[in-house]
Amino acid sequence: GSVMVADNTTGWDMLQGGGKGVRGYVAQEALKSVAPRELAEKPAAKILQSSAKKSERANAEAAALDAEVQAASENSIALRGLKGYNFNAAIKVGPFDLPHPGGSGNLLENTSFTLTPGRRYALIGRNGRGKSTLLRNIAARRCGGLAEAVRTHYVAQDVKLSAGALDQTPAEVVLNADVERRVLLEEAQRLEGCTAVEDNERYKACLSQLDAIDAGTAAVRAKQLLVNLGFNEELLGRTMKALSG
């Protein structure tokens, strides 16, 4: 009886519910219990949305950085015969800041280092501390002081194949990974038949360098490398998108 009294009079008036009796009271209580959950879900949704945007920015930055690494590698090959540059001198890089790929401040600030020819260096640090990010930025020439003519070769941890590469055979992918060979062949083809003295000299230099790197046997060596890794003739004949794993 007391519940019904509260329901029908003061208790219900305080709730300002839309309905009468016990059913209306229970419905209002249910709505009150749902509201906090909805309020809690809204911040969670915002967090997920913010995380997705950060991930999208990080992926776009990674793609741009990969493109810069590739362009820098090709450019260094084109500048191989640059006159007046001493490739035996120490390389001084910096000072520079290394931004976090996700946009959360800097991984390094006001950093400098020197590389001496003939020495080997190891970059040591825990996972996620920016070792790969630093190497990629160096290869992309984002760290001031590294001359464009200095060749770098960055070996990525994860390889993302383009749509065109997925239609190639494993041997073709290996051949295209030889940036120096590809760039020299393209330049030699472009300069073939040129009559200008400077172009003719550059053409001869390209042919000489292609001979020096044994470009003529590159296809055979690429196939042998894959055979040594366990590729049989059937796998060598497949396209990359037809391979699993």
The residue written with tokens 């915002």 in the block is 46
Give the separation between CA 207 and CA 210, rounded to whole angstroms. 5
Comparing C-alpha atoms, which of 176, 138, 162, 148 is closest to residue 241? Answer: 162
Residue 163 identity: A
Give the separation between CA 72 and CA 151, rounded to whole angstroms. 8
Give 189-216 pLDDT, tens digit per residue: 998 888 888 888 888 988 998 999 999 9
Q: What does DSSP assign to residue 112?
A: E
- pLDDT (0 to 100) of residue 238: 92
Give 127-142 pLDDT, tens digit per residue: 878 888 899 899 998 8
Q: Which residues pair with 92 in a beta bridge?
A: 114
CA angle 212, 193, 191 (to 5 degrees): 55
Give 86-125 pLDDT, tens digit per residue: 667 888 888 999 888 777 788 888 999 999 988 999 989 8
Tokens of 32: 């009150």
Mean pLDDT of 220-239: 93
Chain length of the chain = 245
E strands, the chain, in order: 91-99, 106-115
Q: State whether the Cα torsion 122-126-129-132 is positive or negative.
A: positive
Q: With H, G, I as helix, E, B as strand and everything else as coil, classify residue 154.
A: coil
pTM (global) more than 0.75: no
Peptide linkage before 95 cis (omega within 30 of 0)? yes
